[in-house]
């Protein structure tokens, strides 16, 4: 009877096996953050840099005599952080979406992340600017905490919106 039950359970799960595998693969994007503050800063700055379009201007001149923004850069600059790609339903800028979401829940922590990643500021100086903390070891720990939280949120961002 146990063998028959096992076979019945295997047959019952079989129609959903492919769907389950795809679902697991789609959600398997969480990775451990880089070890140490320096590696974390390097990776997050790279993630931000990879989202910014490479071409800022067209060759044409706009009505005021200055070069016009390229369509890609204008969409990046003026578009919503939660803009999605209509072809595959993914976030166009997951870094910006995560930073905007973090700003809603914890503006101070988001500001630290923005100063470090976008502004290129030293992590300790960014914490001191936001919080006024004078102890260097506290500021370093706070900076690392803010970047780790951002890293985990960014890797948790559902880049593929079709996957619930």
Task: Express each pLDDT in 19-66 by its tens digit.
Answer: 555 554 444 445 677 888 999 999 999 989 988 887 777 776 666 667
Q: What is the pLDDT of residue 70?
A: 80
**Picking from 13-17, 62-66, 106-110, which range would have the lowest pLDDT averaged per residue?**
13-17
Average pLDDT over residues 109-129: 95
Contact 144, 34 (CB under 8 A): no
Which CB contacts under 8 angstroms, 24+ apart, belong to 101-106? 101/153, 101/157, 102/149, 102/150, 102/153
pLDDT at residue 160 is higher than 50: no
Q: What is the pLDDT of residue 12?
A: 66
Q: Sign (positive/negative) of CA torsion 142, 124, 47, 40? A: negative
Percent of the chain with pLDDT strictly greater than 70: 74
**This prediction's pTM:** 0.69
Hey, is 88 helix, strand or coil? coil
Q: What is the pLDDT of residue 16?
A: 57
For the chain, give the mean pLDDT.
Answer: 79
Q: What is the pLDDT of residue 145?
A: 94
* Distances from the Cα of 64 to the Cα of 1, 61, 68, angstroms: 83, 8, 9
> Residue ranges of the domains in the chain?
34-52+88-156
**Which of 49, 51, 53 lies closest to 120 in space, CA to CA?**
49
pLDDT at residue 75 is higher than 60: yes
Q: Name the band, by pLDDT with cuts 50, 70 and 90, for residue 11.
A: low
Around 38, how many Cα atoms within 13 Å sit in the side-chain half-sphere?
0
Q: Which two tokens stand for residue 148?
A: 């780790």
Task: Express each pLDDT in 144-153 by its tens digit.
Answer: 999 999 998 8
Percent of the chain with pLDDT strictly greater than 90: 37
């Amino acid at each position: 009877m146990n063998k028959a039950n096992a076979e019945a359970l295997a047959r019952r799960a079989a129609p959903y096996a492919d769907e389950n595998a795809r679902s697991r693969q789609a959600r398997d994007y969480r990775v451990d953050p880089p070890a140490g503050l320096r590696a974390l800063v390097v990776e997050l700055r790279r993630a931000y840099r990879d989202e910014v379009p490479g071409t800022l201007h067209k060759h044409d001149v706009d009505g005021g005599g200055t070069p016009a923004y390229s369509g890609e850069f204008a969409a990046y600059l003026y578009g919503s952080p939660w803009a999605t790609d209509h072809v595959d339903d993914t976030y166009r800028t997951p870094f910006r979406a995560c930073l905007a979401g973090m700003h809603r829940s914890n503006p101070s922590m988001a500001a630290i992340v923005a100063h470090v990643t976008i502004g290129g500021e030293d992590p300790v100086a960014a914490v001191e600017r936001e919080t006024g903390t004078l102890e260097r070891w506290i500021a370093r720990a706070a900076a690392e905490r803010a970047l780790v939280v951002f890293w985990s949120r960014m890797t948790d961002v559902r880049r593929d919106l079709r996957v619930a």
